[in-house]
Amino acid sequence: GMPVEQNPPALSLYEGADSGLRCNFSTTMKSVQWFQQNHRGRLITLFYLAQGTKENGRLKSTFNSKERYSTLHIKDAQLEDSGTYFCAAHNYAQGLTFGLGTRVSVFP
Amino acid sequence: ETAVFQTPNYHVTQVGNEVSFNCKQTLGHDTMYWYKQDSKKLLKIMFSYNNKQLIVNETVPRRFSPQSSDKAHLNLRIKSVEPEDSAVYLCASSPGQISNERLFFGHGTKLSVL
């Protein structure tokens, strides 16, 4: 299977809702990054994690290398959160591998 | 705040033409990359480069070549474009040696080949 499986492929939210995205890894990864790709196409770095949990405003991300997954949680979704979210996981054998993305649409 | 700058934003050209995309980073990073994002949004690495080493993804056609004047610049040249080259090309940089572990991206250059 894919080294990085990202779910769900698409997510629709109303403003103010909370939701989560997940990446599962087929092998042990050393670190993970989360990106948001906005409507202009730019990939904005959200988080870099080698372990544990990080928070930034309404976003929170967790990386569990042993259990082979990472999550991104969006709290109180806003219209500007719309975009495609990518996780990318790194190990020295495979380098950096991207998931296929989760397309998030936030509605008023 | 943007620290990886790409030009142009868009480029439309015809099959067989040569194109060149520019990328500059102001982060002081040692390594730069070019990624291709296809119509399905899949991101694939094309090149990884620092002043000591160039790593080429073996699937990249030979008409693609990276060009660097210093560690802050990595341009992408496509000699004789093909229709399948239509995509978004994303430049990135990372600190340290080639490991592409922690990336910072530019806003991309969208290429349309007619």
Domain A4-107 superfamily per CATH: Immunoglobulins (2.60.40.10)
Tell me the C-alpha distance between A18 and B6, whole Å.
34
CA separation for the pair B13, B97 (Å, rounded): 35
A12-21, A47-56, A86-95: range with lowest mean pLDDT? A86-95
Domain count, chain B: 1
pLDDT exceeds 70 at position B75: yes
**Residue of chain B with shortest Cα separation from A38:** B107
Q: How far does the CA of residue B29 sit from the closest CA of chain A (Å)?
A: 16
pLDDT bucket at A41, cuts 50 / 70 / 90: confident
Question: Looking at chain A, which residue has its C-alpha nearest residue B3?
Answer: A44
pLDDT per residue as tens digits for the range B1-56: 569 999 999 999 999 999 999 999 999 998 999 999 998 888 998 998 987 788 88
Name the CA dihedral angle for A39, A43, A48, A52, rounded to a multiple of 10 degrees: 30
CA proximity to B26, closest of B112, B106, B96: B106
CA dihedral B60, B98, A22, B39 (to 10 degrees): -20
Report the distance separating Cα B107 and Cα B7, nearest Å: 9
User: Cβ neighbours of residue B48 under 8 Å, at least 6 residues apart?
Assistant: B31, B32, B33, B54, B55, B98, B100
pLDDT at residue A77, as a whole number: 97
A35 in Cβ contact with A43 (< 8 Å): yes
Mean pLDDT taken over chain B = 90
Is the four-CA dihedral A104, A46, B66, A97 of positive or negative sign?
negative
Indicate the residue of A35, A96, A100 with minimum beta-carbon distance to B101: A96
To the nearest 10°, report the CA torsion of B101, A49, A10, A36: -70
Looking at residue B50, its pLDDT comes to 84
Confidence at B98, pLDDT banded by 50, 70, 90:
low
Segments forming the whole domain that contains residue B107: 4-113
Q: How would residue B81 be classed by pLDDT, with cut points 50, 70 and 90? A: very high
Taking residues B101-111, report their average pLDDT: 90
Is A31 a residue whose pLDDT tops 70?
A: yes
Percent of chain B with pLDDT over 90: 67
Start-end of H helices in B1-114: none
Chain B interface mutation, best of A37, A48, A97, A102, highest count of B Cβ atoms under 10 Å: A37
Contact between B105 and A35 using a beta-carbon 8 Å cutoff: yes
CATH number for the domain harbouring residue B33:
2.60.40.10
Token look-up 């080259």 returns B85
Put simply, the answer to whether B103 touches A33 (Cβ < 8 Å) is yes
Contact yes or no for B107 and A42 at CB 8 A: yes
pLDDT(B99) > 70:
no
Average pLDDT, chain A: 94
Cβ–Cβ of B104/A45 closer than 8 Å? Answer: yes
CA-based end-to-end distance of chain A: 37
Domain extent listing, chain A:
4-107
Contact B102 A33 (CB under 8 A): yes
Residue pairs spanning A and B at CB distance below 8 A = 47
Q: What is the mean pLDDT of residues A51-75?
A: 97
C-beta atoms of B100 and A96 within 8 A: yes
By percentage, how much of chain A surpasses pLDDT 70? 99
Question: By the CB < 8 Å criterion, does A43 face chain B?
Answer: yes
In this predicted structure, what is the pLDDT of residue A2? 78
Q: Is A26 on the interface with B (CB under 8 A)?
A: no
| Residue closest to B21 by CA, chosen among B37, B32, B5 | B5
